[in-house]
Chain A
């Protein structure tokens, strides 16, 4: 694949946008394309992407694998692997359209899969099995990268401006009740198709503005748990850290957020005894999961949307509410472009997660796990 370095383009910063309908009313893809394209200025054409939830109602229980291939050889090899481990409910090329500015795209395919022999032991369940398949393909098959693997959701990404990538993947033809989007300005890592955001694993998707200087520490920590970072971009670790802490270690999402953006020791020292114990424990146990460096991130999954800033607010982040919809973006204008008259707009406190859950999720059994 073609890999461009930032030296080829001018300097700016990434942009992100997310919209969730808490009542699960479908939002047309056109809306998120317009919102992220409004802050096109924050990217430089070296990466853009989208993730939508609720886009595959025809296969809601199958793992939707989106895979990019360098060539037919890597496709053949990957499909052999897939057939050995999964029932293929349906597969097809991801519908794209020819556009003027998107050239050199890899081969893009999607597969709706169910494990042939789903394991059901506590230490290695079905989702662990799917995670291992993603890691295996990304690591061992040359030129094949899984860029989406969740149920009833999908990521679409590549090298280009957000409007071009939206047009290329025909995002306007999808309906989702949760969208996230990104426009990229790669700083320390190459601009290539696999390096565009979102970064995903199972139904987790992460978009990020900033740079994670703790990447090395985080990566080595994740390797102990079977995660392999193959995409040459720092943001990849965030998706895996969230998966590790929330899905596998069953931490409430909010606590996981405080592990990523941990309060300063001087602030922990002043907390009441109970919180002091809690936050000390988070820092002790999950020290290697802490993200160093500037970041604003959006984390989405089948339960909802979370926005989080680094603790000293080194990247912009704005949130807004209108009826059952919650908006999060790098710039207020990006929200106002698609929601001119919000009920409330605010700049969230750095280091404190903003969490918007689906109403049915909030009423469900899993809810406990996402609350402190």
Chain B
């Protein structure tokens, strides 16, 4: 196996960092280890190859934007816009992530260990056989799954380390496709007008177990166990209409 390409990103401007990665991908490198990252934006932007990027430090905005293949692992927190318009990569964050993560994502996976910010999965969609999946170990802010058109959001609340509710207000507002699974109870008051609870079936159980096995595998060091996670009840939310605003412009 090829040696990883190691970059010390301390004080490095994001354009230079991303240029080095792109150049080295062209040269044939596939494994990158980035040290001292602190807020550099667009890491991995638009990469189509099967890369493996390890990020030590805080990943900046729009991590993995437009990416199609490969894996990014962040051993710290990530800022806003993780997985923006992503097509197929898996991003694993060993910390918290900011707002608008998974914006317009149409494939790939985001595995977040801790909390996530506001507007997670906004405009997320499925495309042919591509199904984007976001799994969050902690809690989420308002507008979770806003205008969601497809894909799967799974919210676990594993840590419950503050008095905030599992999820914020306006849950699934404008949602017209996809599914949201939340471990624990949510006050229906927080629901947007466009979502409703559906029965959690065996098919859901099977699906969830598959996704969570992969999730727990990514976070082996934290003692996560699929059976333990699955022993708590989940609620399942789906849109009540596929065209919630269909009549707005019709007279």
Contacts and interface: CB of A to CB of B under 8 A. Distances in A.
Chain A facing B: main interface SS = loop
Contacts of A337: 38-39
A368 to B, nearest CB: 25
B45 to A, nearest CB: 15
A332 B77 contact: yes
A313 interface: yes
A350 B164 CA distance: 12
Interface residues of A, number: 20
Interface in B150-180: 164, 169-170
Contact of A347 (B38, B141, B143): B141
A313 B117 contact: yes
Contacts of A347: 96, 98-99, 115, 117, 141
A138 interface: no
A316 interface: yes
Contacts of B142: 312-313, 350
Contacts of A333: 38-39, 58, 60, 79
Interface in A346-363: 346-347, 349-350
Contacts of B141: 313, 347, 349-350
A336 interface: yes
B190 to A, nearest CB: 11
Interface residues of B, number: 25
Nearest to B38: A333
Nearest to A352: B164
Contacts, number: 57
Contacts of B80: 316
Interface in A264-300: 267, 270
A226 B142 CA distance: 38
Contacts of A39: 39
Contacts of A334: 39
Contacts of B111: none
Given A270-B189, A313-B99, A350 B39 contact: no
A39 B14 CA distance: 12
A38 interface: yes
A313 B58 CA distance: 21
A270 B143 CA distance: 19
B249 to A, nearest CB: 24
Nearest to B97: A347
Nearest to A309: B118
Contacts of B61: 331
Interface in B70-105: 77, 79-80, 96, 98-99
A141 interface: no
A128 interface: no
Given A316-B80, A347-B115, A331 B39 contact: yes
A299 B67 CA distance: 39
A350 B140 CA distance: 12
A209 to B, nearest CB: 13
B85 to A, nearest CB: 18
Interface string B38-57: 11010000000000000001
Given A332-B58, A332-B77, A336-B58, A38 B38 contact: yes
Given A41-B41, A332-B58, 20 more contacts: A39-B39, A41-B14, A267-B169, A312-B143, A312-B170, A313-B142, A316-B79, A316-B99, A318-B98, A331-B60, A331-B61, A332-B39, A333-B38, A333-B60, A333-B79, A336-B57, A337-B39, A346-B96, A347-B141, A349-B141
8 cross-chain pairs, A with B, having the tightest CB-CB distances, nearest first: A333-B39, A313-B118, A333-B38, A333-B58, A332-B58, A347-B117, A336-B58, A336-B38
26 contacts: A38-B38, A38-B39, A312-B118, A312-B142, A312-B143, A312-B170, A313-B99, A313-B119, A313-B141, A316-B79, A318-B98, A331-B79, A332-B77, A332-B79, A333-B38, A333-B60, A334-B39, A336-B57, A337-B38, A337-B39, A345-B96, A347-B96, A347-B99, A347-B117, A349-B141, A350-B141
